[in-house]
Structure 1
Amino acid sequence: MRRIAYVFGALAATGAGTYLIVYLYRWQWQRAMICGVLLLVVEVMLFGLVTLGRLNRIEERLRDTDRRQRELDARQEDVLTRLREPAAAEEEKRFRWLEDPAERSYVFVPVLMVAGVVLSGLAWVVQKVAATTARPAERRLAGRLALLSAPDPAAPGDLEDLPAPGNGSRRRTARLTAVSVVAVALLAALVTGLANVTQTRAEEANEHQATSVLVRVDLRGTDMSADRKALAARQIWEGCRDSTAVVLRHAPLGNLGDGMFAGVVRPALTDHDVLRLRGCLEDATLERAHLTVIAVDDVESGDDSR
């Protein structure tokens, strides 16, 4: 399911990015902004999916670490128990005669018996103090030996899940390097391409006297009268007169009927200004109105009626 989401997001991002570049090339800013917002939404979605995937992997690693720690603690307790078993058995055997000294009292003369009891008591106290102070050292020793102890046969093997030493890091480094190189190359190509198609440069003047533009106006709604179409066409036309690098001082718009209009622009437009004017006209934001550029042609001074 996650792979399907990644594929869908990648396709949506590719489409939105492609049309973003296309609309920027056509100087259609409204459509470019819509595609940019869509691209941003898709990127946020992909970033969220990647973040959730990373969080899930971190959670799985934490669970696996907890499981390994519990297994290690169990091994440590097992080793600590094994280390303490001889000491406990030895402790049970020592000074057993003190528990019931009356059984063998005939062995000792009174003076030796009292001295033996005192010395045995002192030795018992020393042994208890030594055993108490040695427990932290035993626990540390058990913690070190737990790493060398054999794992539980019933538990799954840990060594089989580990990658070969050095292979994982080298592969990750190679993949990261390749992805970085490709990303930098694509970014440089994108920036260079956008700069070439959208940067305004000084162009050679058009040798013709004027440029004619033939457009068609389409309205959505109930009121689609000729006057409404003429008003919408003039509003869009006047709004786009300042979209070119050349100041359009003389740009009349004539009504040809059936929603068709012809505009004459003086001075004649260069190729770049034609792109900017066409993009502005077709990307107009007038409500319920859409203007389509049918043809753009250069004319001489005596051919304005064409």
Structure 2
Amino acid sequence: MRRIAYVFGGLAAAGAGTYLVVYLYRWQWQRALLCGVLLLVVEVLLLGIVLLGRLTRIEDRLSASDQRQREQAARQEDALARLRQPAAEPDETRFRWLEDPADRAYVFVPVLMVTGVLLSGLAWVVQRVASATARPAERRLAGRLTVLTAPDPASPDDLEDLPSPAAARPKGRTVRVAAVGVVGVALLGGLVVGLADLTQTREEGANDSAATSVVVQVDMRGPDTTAARRSLAAQQVWERCRDSTSVPLRHATLGDLGDGLFAGVVRPALTDHDRLRLRGCLEDATLERAHLTVVGIGDADADDD
């Protein structure tokens, strides 16, 4: 389940980030803000899922540790209870000969002494045989452990010949990590520089045309989608976008063509960058239940009707 959440969260973050860049390029700030907020929400959601997984694993480890401690404490209590139990009395008395009268004679003591002497001699023989046969095995074991001994401190040349810990690391993995890091930094830098170049306001050459004509389509949602409301929505959006270009649209009016179409004429003519900014401002969603679509935008000469 957590993997599915990671997949869907990653796809949502990629989509929100892509449309954030697209809307910034189109100068549609409201939509860009919405995508940015959605991207932040998805990132916080993914972070919460990761932290929840970590906390769940920590809880499982603590529960397992408590269970082991309880089991160990139960075993200790059981062993302690067994140790504290009184010893059971023997059913019959052993060495009954010790309870017999002292006037009776037995050969137990001499036999016991002779047996002890014999066992002591046998143990001495076993010890001598073991010491004689264990020396070759000890030498072989010492020869195997020679590779694990530290070098002689008096000979620093031996220490220089040993490989360093850094050299023991795999070089291929380090190279791959470095390559991925360099590529990621390069892509991020290119994205930032390219986006800054596309969205910055720069001076452009004047347009030789006399004017620029803009045709927009107004779509309304709701039961009261009358022509008057469409005209009011178009005028509100047009007035708000009069200062979106580098040159304010002081003498630009918007006329009604019917069927939700409106036309505006801008003098002087707009440059390519100003056209992009004006289109983005008009198509950006800012009015409730109203949406404007730029049907066409182009230059008009002085002799055009």
TM-score (norm 2): 0.61
Distance 2:19 2:26 in 1: 10
Does residue 242 (structure 1) correspond to residue 243 (structure 2)? The answer is yes
Match of 1:261 in 2: 262
Kindly provide the CA deviation profile for residues 162-198 of structure 1, in whole angstroms up to 9, marking residues without a partner as x: xxx99xx869867765554344233212211210211
Q: How does 1:92-103 map to 2 (within 5 A)?
A: none
Query: Which residue is equivalent to 2:139?
Result: none
**Displacement of 1:69:** 10
* Aligned-partner residue type, residue 264 of structure 2: G
* 3-state SS, counterpart of residue 241 of structure 1: helix
Q: Is the 8 A contact 1:236 1:284 kept in 2?
A: no
CA apart distance, 1:289: 1.3
Give the AA of the match of 2:290: A
Aligned to 1:85: none
2:31–2:285 contact (8 Å) kept in structure 1: no
- Cα distance per residue 1:199-231 (max 9 Å; x no partner): 111111111111000011111112222222112
By how many angstroms is 1:51 displaced? Answer: 2.1
In the alignment, is residue 21 of structure 1 matched against residue 21 of structure 2? yes
Distance 1:64 1:192, change over 3 A: farther
Distance 1:221 1:65 in 2: 62
Contact persistence 2:211–2:265 (CA under 8 A) = yes
Checking the alignment, whether the CA contact within 8 Å between 2:28 and 2:280 is kept in structure 1 is yes
Segments of structure 1 that go 5 or more residues without pairing to the other structure are: 71-76, 78-164
What residue is the counterpart of 1:45 in the other structure?
Answer: 45
**Which has the higher Rg, Structure 1 or Structure 2?**
2
Whole-Å Cα distance in 2 between the matches of residues 67 and 180 of structure 1?
Answer: 44
**Over residues 111-159 of structure 1, what are the superposed CA-to-partner deviations in whole Å (9 max), with x where a residue is unaligned?**
xxxxxxxxxxxxxxxxxxxxxxxxxxxxxxxxxxxxxxxxxxxxxxxxx
TM-score normalised per structure 1: 0.61
1:114 aligns with: none
Q: Distance in 2 between matches of 1:66 and 1:193?
A: 56
Counterpart contact for 1:210–1:299, Cα < 8 Å: yes
Contact 1:20 1:36 in 2 (8 A): yes
Name the structure 2 match of 1:290. Answer: 291
Cα shift at 1:52: 2.6
The size of the alignment, in residue pairs, is: 212
Give RMSD over aligned pairs.
3.3
